[in-house]
Amino acid sequence: MKRLSGRAIRRGSSERKYLERSQPISVHQVHIIAAETEAHRNGRSAKNMKIEKLETFVAVNWMMVRITTDNGIQGVGESTFFGWPGASKDVVLSFEPYLIGQDPLRTEHHWNYMYRAKSMRGGAIGGGISAIDQALWDIKGKYFEAPVWQLLGGKARDAVRAMLVLPTGTLEEVANAAAAAKADGFTAVKCLLYQHDHAPMRHSERIQDLVDRMAAVRDAVGWDMDVGVEIHRNMIPGEAIVLAQEIEKFRPYFFEDPVAPDSILSFGEVSEKTRIPMAAGERNLTIWEFREYVESAGIHHVRPDIGVAGGFTHCKKICAIAESHHQGIIPHAVPSGPVATAAHVQLGACVPNYEVQEHLYEEKPPYSDVVKEIIKLDHGWLQIPEVPGIGVELDEEGIAKHPYEYGPIAHALRDDGSVALR
């Protein structure tokens, strides 16, 4: 390695400690000195930077966080525990006494401190920690004047492939939506075979309806488009196997969550009986849960959600676990708000096994109101921001237009009035 004398470095406030040394320094240390010097010039000294303020915002059902440092840098994040955003908000506020006064750049330390603070965990905890973690990485990117993807390893791709989640509706409506998506440039769609308003108990009728929907979508888009299948955990293993075997001929991109994720054994039972690649993970929160699914459930596509599965700090590790088993990443990114969408794009930019990202046609309010500028979608491809941080900023006036209100809990019932699986 080439060595440079300490005296060869131009003197400055951040170099004095090196100039006082008698031994030579490496070229790598020269780059560190340069970065520290630039940070001092811009008033961004990491040595003294502390978290000064933590704020929460809820619009629609998106719980967002904004963290401000004492030198004015702000970072934002979002929890995707969208069923109960107030619960994740309370989690965030519970960590406020710990976070105030802390160095925001210690993301790994803060993640572990928050995660291990209490023994009881779950989706609300994961959502709160994830939102905070995203905000801290946003601050880190702005401090180092780099996009988050740059800090996480640099670009692995030039744009992130988007997969349009088709709306529910009649068979004809869903098929038309798929054809329109293809015309707009999308190369992948996801079909929600279950419509969620009612779950008939007649096995043969139900299977036939789902097969007909898959056939209609495939006919509408042809064979040069990927069609994923989402079951939303509405089946037991036996009927999931029957459905999977009947739709194999339509060559689905994946078969997602046919059964509840609570049992790895049941998921593996379905996987063993079908040639369709299996997808799961949107309800899982940690590397330990994902490790079990990756190794024992027979899945092929891993679906972490950056808004509940630990933010950037943890999701990067989940992606690495999947990569080590030759499995792809198809994150759970719908119905995320614009902040979580931006965070997912940052992750997708730098993760080599990131396959495709769920998306909706959300370019109008309320989606476009809550941030100053949304991530751009260009003919089925999400554009990767080049600006420092995650690429979006909150719009408080827009957020105020869309307050969240708890409403009735809707759920499908079966013919006998019992609650359908989900």
Structure tokens at 236: 């037991």
Greatest CA span in the chain, whole angstroms?
84
CB 126 within 8 A of CB 159: no
Nearest to 344 by CA among 287, 305, 386, 371: 305
- How many Å apart are CA 132 and CA 90, to the nearest integer? 12
Say which amino acid occupies 42.
N
CB 344 within 8 A of CB 335: no
Alpha-carbon separation of residue 25 from 6, 12, 21, 38, 82 (angstroms): 6, 16, 9, 19, 51
Structure tokens at 293: 């699914």
- Residues serving a catalytic function are 232, 332
Phi, psi torsion values for 187, nearest 5 degrees: -110, 0
Say which amino acid occupies 257.
D
